Structure 1
Amino acid sequence: MSTKAFDPTKLAALPLANHLVLAPMTRSRALGSIPNEMMAEYYRQRSTAGLLLTEGTAPSADGLGYARIPGLYNAAQVAGWKLTTDAVHQQGSKIFVQLMHTGRIFHPLNLPAGAEGVAPSALAAQGQMWTDQQQMQDHPTPRALTTAEVKSVVQQHAQSAKLALEAGFDGVELHGANGYLVEQFLNPASNQRTDEYGGSVQNRARFVLETIGAIAAAIGAERTGIRLSPWSTFNDQPNYAEIEETYAYLADELQKLNLAYLHLVNLSYLGEGPAQTAKNIRAKFTNPIIVNGGLDTVEAIESMLDSGLADLVSVGRPFVSNPDLVARLQHNVPLAPSDPATYYAPGPGGFADGYTSYPTAKEASTLSVTV
């Protein structure tokens, strides 16, 4: 088995210190939807990864479906994110912002005044979400976007991508996975439109291709990536007959754009279908692929890199409680457990608990000696 996980590499022309990526993880610490100094410290702590991907960040007020998630559509948010990009760059790492419009995964209590829940069709998602005012609430029915509004949402993403460069980001990842707006257009269960954005596989893929194309045109394809999760049923997105056809078509079209990367959620554990889909995507998309999911040991990471299905590997939950995860993996140091109760909410000591409060292995060793 090779040990290239810790070797330097490149993403397009961007030099990376290693093949490890901080996966995007919502942490709900952006009070007022504005990134802050605590968030900058969180990303700084994890800047030993070659590339960092931020939590899902709304390109418009309508996309702020969850409590306390950040946006990137106004000057205050640009200034807030600049704290993070400066901190990460000072550590020698690179960082992309993930643009995430939540679509029908929303609640009005989580939206600012004047914003509304919008989606491809007026179909409510099954399930509930947290609101700070009334705790868990059912997803309400969104308003269906008009054709003209769909085109406006495409441009909102492009404008947000331009602001990302102003904020100092090295690039942008479009969140096309996990049941949010982009995937809501792809899936016929959530897209029952009869205009150019609904019906056939090609029509349902039109929104994502127009959006990623607009982002690439705005900031350069070499700064643009996309995340996809074929076969995922997260956020009430049931599987459908044209999954393989849909992602084969997307892989072809995304390759034509010459993107920096495609970030693929690893669902091969679900069976032969998802595993084959990943192989088919790899055959068509020959630019770098980042694979995410269940890869939290050196053996699993190296095996994925050796398979040829991934050029980089992104890691999520282990990074929550192990800010020095890269060093721990490289030197075979046991990983610290995390507290799920503080993934999206403050602990007894405030929002820093379970966020920036986890020590490195070196700090933990010093603490144990001094107690």
Structure 2
Amino acid sequence: MSGTRAVVTGLGVVAPGGLGTEEYWKTLLAGQHALGPLSRFDTTGQPATLAGEVRDFDAGAHLPDRLLPQTDVSTRYALVAADWALADAGVGPESGLADYDMGVVTSTAQGGFDFTHREFRKLWAQGPEFVSVYESFAWFYAVNTGQISIRNGMRGPSAALVAEQAGGLDALGHARRSVRRGTPLVLSGGVDSAFDPWGWSAQFAGGRVSTARDPERAYLPFDRAARGHVPGEGGAMLVVEDLASARRRGVRQVYGEIAGYAATFDPPPGRGRPPGLTRAVGLALADAGLEPTDIGVVFADGAAVPALDRAEAAALREVFGVRGVPVTVPKTLTGRMYAGGGPADVAAALLTLREGTVPATVHTDRVPQEYGLDLVLGEPRPLRAGAALVLARGRHGFNAAVVLTTV
């Protein structure tokens, strides 16, 4: 098991400002944000009105007609991102992989919000006979795993995980574990979308959504003016493979290795124990066999809630020292995509390793000196070491860390 290397051979990204991996990467390097007034419904009177929406996405151009009536918008994003990742990795009937050699592990924090609430409206307004039969599964957290598995004939070990923003990294960690236990290939990642009226209200009720009206001042992680995040939608799917197996089938490229992974949980409030993020970082580094000085960049969680920002900054200072490592939060361009945010950051980190360039944190400009962070601001910066650390934290104490290296 320890001799098996789990590498990423395919990427598929559906995100605000970037349909497709290379378009997403161009958007990050250019610093072009996709935040703006939510257009899915009338937000008049709502306390929050800004979102990172996926625009110009035509599900019918990518998926067969039979799938459209049975899928939520988030599942459509997941299916298309999966198709793109598999194509990028050159996985198809000619690749020689049997159905039980391929698994699927996904994460979603919100499930099929838009689909299920549309059907609820039918139930209340018209009666149960008008509710779609697909409501039985379209809302469910495991639906993306199931639909991807069916569409691509992937019957190997599969799972669905839920840990809010941390869930996408947990899915990739589970995929790595499956590969190291003998499954040659696992398609993994996370996607979320909840931009219907109820889904929007549920997000705002959490108390962490910014009420700012200016898109350029709404989501400011690690800034003195931080006041919450802007919700986003979308995410990324990645093909995780056993390196030896991938080379035998003639893989076209290897983006990097998932060299380390760890998950921890914060103690309940009032217990007097420290948060678990520092321990997650240390465990992930130890799992990868690396020292803090080996890390060239940290893709931070960047909650933009002052107390959470202070805690994350303290964890990074404890591990890396004051201004000890470049830190970036490219999700300021897309909004927080919940379970999709971690995998999208992993895709960006792998492209950073490939290109040797760290995307900047856009809009943040006043980082408190006491944070001790070397936040990449203004312009992209050259990468100075061949490993990256990606962090994500979910509500109620979830922490996840992934270490990526070149191969």
TM over 0.5, yes or no? no
Structure with the higher strand share, 1 or 2: 2
TM-score when normalising by structure 2: 0.30
Q: Which has the higher contact order (CA 8 A, sep 6+)?
A: 2
